[in-house]
């Protein structure tokens, strides 16, 4: 007989970020008994820290599996938003707002022109915009445009966003409605195969499961050491600033290189982001925040430091080749990984959840998984 503090589930998911919670909800809808364990509160790490940008889906001619995953994810997002609000009453803020892509420097112009060629090859809708078109759409950019800061501009009508903190709340509530056991503040400290099951130890109790999915974001490689393999997932810090404005001074997402301004419907504007190698240190720095401040004021002069109501940093789960790790771990029956979504975890979460649920339930996934396999760049320790 298991002790009262020892439970058995079909699938245990380690990590309650957007990836872990999305997989859990998808599996619960397939009638599996699922538990999600997080070392902190649910959904408060990278998934909370992000901006929620959902880039346009790659065009039909883009045939790499990552393109297929992105297309499927964008197809699922509006459906998930509808189902989440029906089930939980929480609006995750999904809406198509369009994205402006601006170049100020010759380097940015060159890369934007190269991107446009790729986007067109893929069959993606992209328009070159004149200064007049920019001002007509976004009147508050007038001073930046007249100061000659825009050397090239493209408009992507299909760019969308979701309000990620609300999305995470909705996912958590949807999991609860679907009988997923949520275990916040339960750091998984040890993982081992015992017989035909996996045993997971936390600092309070332990749990056994037929299958385990590791969705621990930037921390995934720390966790897998105990079972003898280390996927090359590394933390990449990103800093953010949040401004409150009295009125809506921006309606579409403004992108310049890796920087962006994301307007929320209630007048809040997010400015992001940096890309830094700072280990597991998720503090902001004065240098990072100053660079975001300069970026924000350059485009919208009313985003003064006094308008900034909050700043934070998050750790993106990066991988060496830019592809997430998704699939079964070789030679570790019943163990799966879903981590390493870097700058696109919110975007790719819906398609990733469907793909992982297919793999975990032995269905044939609609997307080819080879580029996401754990085997690439993996060190397997035969002793474990
Ligand atoms: C500044 C910034 C901006 C971003 N902007 C965007 C964007 O606009 N669009 C987009 O698509 N993506 C964006 N991203 C990326 C996106 O946020 C991530 O790719 C995504 O959140 C990764 O989700 P995850 O669930 O894998 O990781 P996380 O959200 O980090 O979740 C992992 C969870 O695992 C838990 N955990 C770790 N170790 C253990 C353990 N031992 N036991 C139990 N729990 C554990 C952690 O506590 C954490 O809650 C951004 C990220 C940042 C930082």
* pLDDT one-digit tens code per residue, 180-208: 999 999 999 999 998 999 999 998 889 99
Provide the pLDDT for residue 377: 58
3-class secondary-structure state, position 170: helix
The segments of the chain whose pLDDT lies below 70 read 1-6, 377-384
Q: Which residues pair with 276 in a beta bridge?
A: 237
Ligand 1: which residue has its CA nearest to atom 44? 38
* pLDDT one-digit tens code per residue, 334-368: 999 999 999 999 999 999 999 999 999 999 999 99
CATH architecture of 7-90+164-232+321-380: 3-Layer(bba) Sandwich (3.50)
113 Cα: distance to centroid of ligand 1 (angstroms):
31
Structure tokens at 271: 């400015």
CATH architecture of 96-158+235-319: 2-Layer Sandwich (3.30)
Provide the pLDDT for residue 228: 82
Ligand 1: which residue has its CA nearest to atom 2? 50
| DSSP class per residue in 145-168 | HHTT--SEEEEETT-EE--HHHHH
Instruction: For ligand 1, say whether the CB of 271 is within 6 Å of any of its atoms.
Output: no
Ligand 1: which residue has its CA nearest to atom 21? 47
d(CA 181, CA 34): 6
3-class secondary-structure state, position 295: helix
Residue ranges per structural domain of the chain:
7-90+164-232+321-380, 96-158+235-319
* pLDDT one-digit tens code per residue, 71-100: 999 999 999 999 999 999 999 999 999 999
Provide the pLDDT for residue 218: 98
d(CA 80, CA 26): 10
Instruction: For ligand 1, say whether the CB of 314 is within 6 Å of any of its atoms.
Output: yes
Q: Residue 156: left if φ>0, alpha if ψ -120 to 50, beta else—which one?
A: beta
Ligand 1: which residue has its CA nearest to atom 22? 345
Provide the pLDDT for residue 4: 43
Provide the pLDDT for residue 378: 55
d(CA 132, CA 180): 52
Best of 16, 23, 50, 69 for a ligand 1 pocket test (most atoms within 8 Å of beta carbon): 50
| DSSP class per residue in 100-156 | EEEE-SHHHHHHHHHHHHHHHHHT---EE--HHHHHHH-GGGHHHHHTT--SEEEEE
Best of 217, 255, 272, 280 for a ligand 1 pocket test (most atoms within 8 Å of beta carbon): 217
Atom of ligand 1 nearest to the CA of 42: 49
Provide the pLDDT for residue 5: 54
Instruction: For ligand 1, say whether the CB of 215 is within 6 Å of any of its atoms.
Output: yes
Provide the pLDDT for residue 247: 82
């Amino acid at each position: 007989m298991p002790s009262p503090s020892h439970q058995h589930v079909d699938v245990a998911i380690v990590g309650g970020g957007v990836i872990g919670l999305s997989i859990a909800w998808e599996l619960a809808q397939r009638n599996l008994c699922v538990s999600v364990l997080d070392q902190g509160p649910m959904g408060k790490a990278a998934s909370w820290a992000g901006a929620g940008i959902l880039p346009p889906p790659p065009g039909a001619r883009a045939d790499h599996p990552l393109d297929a995953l992105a297309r499927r994810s964008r197809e699922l997002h509006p459906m998930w938003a509808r189902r989440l609000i029906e089930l939980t009453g929480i609006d995750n803020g999904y809406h198509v707002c369009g994205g402006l892509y601006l170049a100020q420097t010759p380097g940015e112009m060159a890369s934007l022109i190269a991107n446009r060629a790729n986007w067109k090859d893929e069959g993606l809708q992209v328009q070159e915009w004149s200064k007049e078109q920019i001002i007509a759409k976004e009147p508050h950019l007038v001073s930046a445009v007249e100061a000659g800061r825009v050397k090239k501009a493209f408009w992507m009508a299909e760019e969308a966003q979701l309000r990620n903190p609300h999305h995470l709340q909705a996912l958590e509530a949807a999991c609860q409605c679907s009988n997923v056991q949520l275990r916040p503040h339960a750091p998984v400290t040890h993982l081992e195969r015992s017989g035909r099951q996996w045993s997971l130890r936390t600092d309070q109790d332990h749990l056994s499961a037929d299958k385990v999915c590791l969705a621990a974001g930037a921390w995934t490689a720390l966790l897998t050491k105990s079972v003898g393999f280390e996927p090359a997932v590394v933390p990449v810090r990103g800093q953010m600033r949040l401004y409150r404005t009295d009125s809506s001074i921006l309606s579409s997402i403004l992108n310049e290189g890796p920087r962006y301004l994301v307007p929320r419907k209630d007048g809040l504007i997010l400015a992001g982001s940096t890309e830094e190698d700072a280990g597991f240190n998720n503090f902001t720095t004065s240098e990072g925040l100053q660079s975001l401040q300069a970026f924000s004021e350059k485009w919208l002069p009313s985003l003064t430091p006094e308008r900034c109501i909050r700043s934070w940093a998050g750790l993106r789960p990066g991988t060496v080749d830019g592809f997430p790790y998704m699939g079964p771990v070789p030679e570790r029956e019943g163990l799966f990984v879903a981590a390493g979504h870097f700058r696109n975890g919110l975007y790719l979460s819906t398609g990733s959840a469907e793909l992982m649920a297919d793999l975990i339930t032995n269905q044939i996934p609609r997307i080819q998984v080879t580029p996401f396999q754990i085997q690439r760049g993996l060190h397997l320790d035969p002793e474990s």
